[in-house]
Structure 1
Amino acid sequence: MKKLTIKDIDLSNKAVIMRVDFNVPIGKDGKVSDDTRITAALPTIKYAVEKKAKVILLSHLGRPKGSFDPKYSLKPVAEHLKNISGLNVVFVPHVVGEEVKEAVKNMKVGDVLLLENTRFHPGEEKNDQELAKAWAELADIHVNDAFGTAHRAHASNVGIANFIPSVAGFLMEKEIDFLNKVTYEPDHPYIVVLGGAKVSDKIGVITNLLNKADKLLIGGAMMFTFLKAQGLKVGSSLVENDKLDLAKRILEQAKEKKVEIVLPVDAIVAQKIEAGVEKKTADLKDGIDDGWMGLDIGPKTIKVFEEALKNAKTVVWNGPMGVFEIEDFAGGTKAVAEMIAKIKGTTVIGGGDSAAAVAKFGLESAYSHVSTGGGASLEFLEGKDLPGIRSIADKKK
């Protein structure tokens, strides 16, 4: 089902309340240290301004537990937005109330207001209808451009839609289009690359995509649960012992469905997760010695993965291959990022750590789409119905 977008409505002289995802890191100097999410929201904000709307922005930052906490204030975000956009951005240090109403009343066409962190109000995460109504009363239209919170039913992304029409911003539209394609109508061969620490985080994705993918490539710490399930020695590597039966079941299901699961054949191992420690390559069929743990995929695995990805038409990647934050164990993640970047078909990076990794290697623009939502993209790939998407109005047939 296609969703209504900001382009489908007349914005002229309208007040627009827009949920964006400005959940960005703030450095020790009190300034924004990575503005990827802010720049991602700019096209929607600027479009509304160009179409002569008044724009009221809502976002959360961090997890302030429903009350004011200065370290999670959006004030530095407002300053940064003003500097990079050239727009007339005014910060309102309140979430809701008389000061907010007054600020909205004083707005001129083309002005942008950023209200304080939505999570400073205890009603935000409870999808409190009174709070949602108070926000809805400030505007004519709700624009949802925060895909990162699409898997949560909060007052600012879902609640407001009960009172005024809700449409998708450009970022939300792009996320829905690409994730729809890879979840429901991928071109084949379709290859899914999964990494990260835990099998338990990815069960839903694996189960859903076993019905669609041609191959599953598994790296990251989660590979050791699969390897141990096959009776291999994994030393001190991270293993979810309570998920060994599940791993066996997944391997059996894959066989039944004729989906090839490609597991690593070697790993970079060390005794500590630290930079500069002694490391070596372990052949996984011989097992990993006690006291040593696998912290990245090895050079032979990189070749195996490269071969497996060769003719792919669709690739989805979620989760790093190793502890990529430490240079010594970043080789596998970097190699996978580079091989997926060369693929001519549809390539989707599933947010979270994978998005951080491709940014670290300067490859963001090499893929069809890098998702802005880790948890939301995972749930979409699981085939779940996300409340933050469901609440956006559908296009009439």
Structure 2
Amino acid sequence: MTWTTLDQMDLKGKRVLTRVDINVPMENGVVTDATRIARIVPTVKDILAAGGMPILLAHFGRPKGTRVPEMSLQHLVPALEAAFDCDVIFAADCIGAGAEAAVGALQAGRVLLLENTRFHPQEPANDSAFAAAMARLGDIYCNDAFSAAHRAHASTEGLARLLPSCAGRLMQQELSALEAALGTPKRPVVAVVGGAKVSTKLELLSNLVEKVDHLVIGGGMANTFLAAQGIDVGKSLAEHEMSATALEIIAKAKAAGCEIVLPSDVVVAREFKAGAASETVAADACPADAMILDAGPDTVARIKAILDSAKTLIWNGPLGAFEIEPFDMATNAAAAYAADLSAKGALVSVAGGGDTVAALNQAGAAERFTYISTAGGAFLEWMEGKTLPGVAALSA
């Protein structure tokens, strides 16, 4: 798949409608985590440097088509000005006379922020008239919100059909990383997929077994696969009703030449709490009154050996109950090893979705992965092999 970038657009003197994701956490009117704001800075600064006028479109929270004062983007102006190091003008709507007046008065070197697109019910409906009203405010459309690209909304899909369109720097980064991981990867390819339930990642697993050489399954999902093969997992979290599905995935993997890697040893405990007494046993020797809460050291050694020969790694989810010591051992050890290989240039590692970012940060591994996606649902849908409307609309 190919897409147009900012470098291919003549931005000088142009009004650039730029869809961003600044849906950041706030407490008492103050941004508590500005990661998403920091990630759009390169796009905004590059537009300004090229003589363009960035006009930001974004959602905030779930107002469900009504004006909710606490979900106004006006609260983000101070954080945006600090990040961009320039004035950010706010318009109280994203369409209409007020927005048009704000666009008309916008001066070079400044950024205009339009009000929450989701204050209008026409936004999630991808209403063509609403998209056209936004399109009148700009000359070029730039989508830098990969995290919202799985939504066919007016500001993510509709606008791209109405104006010359391109990907912003963050969108470009995300697409390049995912293309390297799943589109045209260097082989062998390893996927690590963890988490609680097979049922929530069924499409992901089914797609990956046809794309990767090794699929490492961890967390509660691994318990379901072990139980499906007749192994007693005691009181462990497991979806026993998914046994047939787990066996189907194993068969599909075998037919595709993909090795599924399940824990060979596990860490078990009688209580799910920090510092609970635990022991390491073979995967088929979980006591009836215990629960599996992590993969064991032999399993970690096996994962490391697979990573040694791998060229590409896709990581989604933890290998155990990483939030609680000592059940974070497998996740921390495997992630740190993958990070070391990545830092040496021996492995291309791409991670994202769900608890993944938190787990890799806790392991101290995130900064050394090749790419960490904060996109959540869009990252997972891409991994599942789905077409993302916001990306498809940009395809050249």
Normalising by structure 2, we get a TM-score of: 0.93
Bigger shift: residues 123-132 or 203-212? 203-212
Paired position in structure 2 for 1:264:
263
Structure 2 residue 106 is matched with structure 1 residue 104: no
- 1:341 pairs, out of 336, 339, 342, with 339
Unaligned runs of at least 5 residues, structure 1: none
Offset, 1:157: 0.8
Distance 1:11 1:387 in 2: 25
The equivalent residue for 2:165 is 166
Distance 2:280 2:70 in 1: 43
Which piece of structure 1 moves more, 349-358 or 267-276? 267-276
Q: Give the corresponding residue for 1:186.
A: 185
Q: Deviations over 1:115-166 (max 9, x none)?
A: 2222222122111222211111100011001111111101111011222122
User: Within the alignment, does 1:325 sit opposite 2:327 as a pair?
Assistant: no
Q: How does 1:1-397 map to 2 (within 5 A)?
A: 1-26=1-26, 28-290=27-289, 292-343=290-341, 344-394=346-396
CA 1:116 to 1:362, structure 2 compared with 1: closer, same or farther past 3 Å?
Answer: farther
Using the alignment, how far apart are the partners of 2:320 and 2:192 within structure 1?
Answer: 13
Matched AA of 1:352: G
1:178 Cα shift?
1.8
Displacement of 1:393: 4.6
How far 1:65 sits from its partner (Å)? 2.1
Give the C-alpha shift of residue 193 in structure 1: 0.7
Name the SS of the counterpart of 1:221 in structure 2. helix
What letter corresponds to residue 359 of structure 2 in structure 1? A
One-letter identity of the residue aligned with 2:114: L
CA distance in 2, matches of 1:65, 1:278: 47
Q: Distance in 1 between the 2:115 and 2:275 partners?
A: 43
Using the alignment, how far apart are the partners of 2:261 and 2:353 within structure 1?
A: 22
Q: How many Å separate the matches in 2 of 1:271 and 1:136?
A: 59
Q: Mean Cα displacement is larger for which, 228-237 or 271-280?
A: 271-280
| AA in 2 matched with 1:331 | M
**Unaligned 5+ runs, structure 2:** none
* Greater alpha carbon shift after TM alignment, 355-364 vs 161-170: 355-364
Moved more, 214-223 or 349-358: 349-358
TM-score, normalised via structure 1 length: 0.92
Task: Indicate the larger mover: 77-86 or 4-13.
Answer: 77-86
Residue 93 of structure 1 deviates from its aligned partner by 3.5
Q: Distance in 1 between matches of 2:275 and 2:72?
A: 37
Percent identity for Structure 1 against Structure 2: 44
Aligned partner of 1:318: which letter?
A: N
Q: SS of 2:303's equivalent? A: helix
Look up the equivalent residue of 1:275 and give its one-letter code.
Answer: A
User: Cα offset for 1:211?
Assistant: 2.2
Q: Deviations over 1:4-45 (max 9, x none)?
A: 11110111111011011112222x333212222111111011
- Answer whether contact 2:332 2:362 (CA < 8 A) is retained: no
Q: 1:92 to 1:276 in 2, by over 3 A?
A: farther
